[in-house]
Amino acid sequence: MIVQRLDQDDAGLLLKLNALFGAVFEEEDTYGGNPPSADYLSRVLGRDEVVALAAIDSGEIVGGLVAYELQKLEQERSEFYIYDLAVREDRRRMGVATALIDELRSIAAAANGWVVFVQADHGDDPAIALYTKLGRREDVLHFDIDVG
Residue 132 has pLDDT above 80, yes or no: no
pLDDT at 129 over 90: no
Q: What's the pLDDT tens digit per position in 105-121?
A: 999 999 989 999 877 77
Q: Which domains does the chain have, with CATH numbers?
A: 2-134 (3.40.630.30)
d(Cα 35, Cα 33) in Å, to the nearest integer? 6
Task: Read off the pLDDT of each residue in 12-38 and give the average, rounded to a whole number.
Answer: 94
| Per-residue model confidence as pLDDT tens digits over 59-99 | 999 999 999 999 999 998 899 999 999 999 999 989 999 99
Mean pLDDT confidence for 35-64: 96
Is it the case that residue 133 has pLDDT exceeding 70? no
pLDDT above 70 covers what percent of the chain? 87
pLDDT of residue 122: 73
Of the pLDDT bands very low, low, confident and very high (cuts 50, 70, 90), residue 103 is very high
